Amino acid sequence: MLNGTLTGGRSGNAGYSLGVSLYEVDTYEWGYNLGASQALASDNRSIYGRQKVSVNDTFETEFDFEYGKTYAIVANFGVSASDGGIADFSHTASFAMSAAEGTTLVSSAGINYGIAAAVPEPETYAMLLAGLGMLSLIARRRN
């Protein structure tokens, strides 16, 4: 289930992407390898400018499996916003699974926030240089 809002602002943009895939897992003595994948769910949206979109989505899927094999379900969720845009999901994305009788589910989750640093606009540098010039002028007049 996914609930949230995308707001573009004056001239900004916002968006999200969601993908859920099933992988066959080959296990070895020293690790594992993800085999062939099967897409289970996929969605993405983006907006630009003076828009506000409410997102209320539920994704359901099913798949066949073979007893005795190991599978991995990988869910990726990403949001983006720039130039005043807002992507607000406030911890509302949830993931639930139910297993057939005789199967075992193991789960782990992780979050990787890749937040980009703000890049100053050219006007910011111009204001900084003008301010430093004014300070230099005031310091010279006082001496």
**Tokens of residue 70, six digits:** 């190991």
48 to 4, 8, 9, 12, 83: CA distances (angstroms): 16, 5, 8, 6, 10
Tell me, what's the pLDDT at 112? 52
Residue 125 CB coordination number (10 Å): 10
Tell me, what's the pLDDT at 50? 82
Q: Is 2 exposed, middle or buried (0-12, 13-18, 19+ CB in 10 A)?
A: middle
Tell me, what's the pLDDT at 67? 78
Q: Are 10 and 49 in contact (CB under 8 A)?
A: yes
DSSP class of residue 115 equals P
Tens-digit pLDDT profile for residues 89-124: 876 666 667 777 777 776 666 655 555 555 666 677
Q: What averages of pLDDT result for each successive group of 10 residues across the chain (143 residues)?
A: 77 85 78 78 83 80 79 81 83 68 70 55 77 85 80
Tell me, what's the pLDDT at 48? 84
Over its C-alpha atoms, the chain yields an Rg (Å, rounded) of: 24
pTM above 0.75, yes or no: no
Locus of tokens 């289930």? 1
